[in-house]
Structure 1
Amino acid sequence: MSAPSKPLLAAYLQQLALHPLRTKAITTGTLCFLQEVLGSNIAHMPVKKPAPNAPFLLQLLARSHIDMRAVKMAIYGFLVSAPLSHYLVGLLQKAFAGKTGTGAKIAQIVASNLLVAPIQTAAYLASLAVISGARSVDEVVNTVKAGFFSVIRITWITSPIALTIAQRFIPVELWVPFFNAVQFTLGTYFNARVKQLRLNALAKKVEKEKEENRD
């Protein structure tokens, strides 16, 4: 790209080529942070108000749902999600490098869903358990067991579609930003959806308690 039409993309791809793991870690950490913040805002989560005499900046951050959970999600993206994806997807790409036949493409999709996706899903759920307050191995394991098949089922639906599009239309050097965009969109949607379900469940619980008290 001597005269790139999109200089920011060209600069990003250059950093990705020179420092792949660092660039992916910064990108994933940032996107995980934004997913949490956007998900909370879209779902209209109640704001945890700081003390009345807190600095204006802290009050502004609180109203925007920029809190420690968002910071922890950024740390997860930087230290867990990005390195894990970097090495797993890297191994997958090496295994199928130079293979462009239909059988190889199908095999790559199957390998991604049966080998890569389960590991990423387990790591994601375990990390969420810790971020949400799990303090024992049993709590983490139970969280993974409870959510594994729900998450992996969605992954098995969306991942083949995204990978097929990438194989047919996206140059290999653009796969990382393409999959980042897909994961960010889906992650933000599911983040907001889960929060909305929690709010609805809490509202129903409160309403039920009010009815019981009236009786």
Structure 2
Amino acid sequence: MSLNQVYLSYLATHPLATKSATAAILATLNEGIATSVSGFGKGSAVTKKMAQMLLYAAFFATPLSHLYYNQLTRIFKGKLTWKLKMLQILASLLTLSPVLSAAFVSWISAINMQKKETLSNYRSAIINGLKNNFWLVYRSSAITSTLSMAVAQALVPTELWVVFFNAVYFVLGTYQNTKMKLKAREVRDSKEA
């Protein structure tokens, strides 16, 4: 049995666990690549952030996406007309995309902050992160989501959508995470200068 067949077998028998493991691996790679490219952090801080991204992907983003896309495919079942496909994309853009964008920005803002002593520091970092990065992340997510959903509707079986979107968002997330880290490093360096 090929690796692909084994993966698809696990996906069929343990869909959420398989999707979560896939997302966790991709999120860990995302953080490692973004940190290396941006030069933001060293040593154990990198390992800790990679573990934090693993937790985010495996236990928040993937279960939410899994449940959401299950509901979406139940609502929009059967052969979809062009209008229903557009409505499905719009539903995703107006519901899941903003939630995941806000969660991603909040999580990245929290794990990238320098001083983590108090709850108000976390609150400030998350609010600043959302003010500075939410629309950037949401806009790129909305564009990517629209294109990805159109491709998924045409070419990807619905049970593979979360895996497909994980792969797409690995690329987008790595880009966004790197950009946010470079921006945070610029701010930090300007304060130190």
Any residues of structure 2 matched to 1:62-73 within 5 Å, and which?
66-73=46-53
Report the CA distance between 1:24 and its aligned residue: 1.3
Q: What is the match of residue 142 of structure 1?
A: 127
Q: What is the match of residue 5 of structure 2?
A: 10
> In structure 2, how many angstroms separate the alpha carbons of the residues matched to 1:174 and 1:182?
12
Maintained 8 Å contact 1:92/1:108: yes
Q: What is the match of residue 108 of structure 2?
A: 128
Which of residues 144, 153, 176 is equivalent to 1:190? 176
Gaps of 5+ in 1: 49-61, 210-215
Q: Which shifted more, 97-106 or 138-147?
A: 138-147
Report the CA distance between 1:68 and its aligned residue: 0.7
Any residues of structure 2 matched to 1:1-215 within 5 Å, and which?
7-45=2-40, 47-48=42-43, 66-131=46-111, 132=113, 133=116, 135-136=119-120, 138-139=123-124, 142-143=127-128, 145-146=130-131, 147-206=133-192, 209=193
> In structure 1, how many angstroms separate the alpha carbons of the residues matched to 2:176 and 2:106?
17
Maintained 8 Å contact 1:13/1:173: no
* Structure 1 pair 31–107 and aligned structure 2 pair: CA distance change class (3 A): same
> In structure 2, how many angstroms separate the alpha carbons of the residues matched to 1:177 and 1:79?
15
Maintained 8 Å contact 1:125/1:143: no
Q: Which amino acid aligns with 1:25?
A: S
Maintained 8 Å contact 1:129/1:139: no
Report the CA distance between 1:46 and its aligned residue: 5.1
Relative contact order, higher structure (CA 8 A, sep 6+): 2
Q: Which is greater in Rg?
A: 1
Maintained 8 Å contact 2:24/2:57: yes
Report the CA distance between 1:150 and its aligned residue: 2.5
> In structure 2, how many angstroms separate the alpha carbons of the residues matched to 1:140 and 1:81?
20
> In structure 2, how many angstroms separate the alpha carbons of the residues matched to 1:44 and 1:144?
19
Sequence identity (%): 33
TM-score (norm 2): 0.83
Equivalent residue of 1:104, what SS? helix
Aligned residue pairs: how many?
187
RMSD after superposition:
2.5
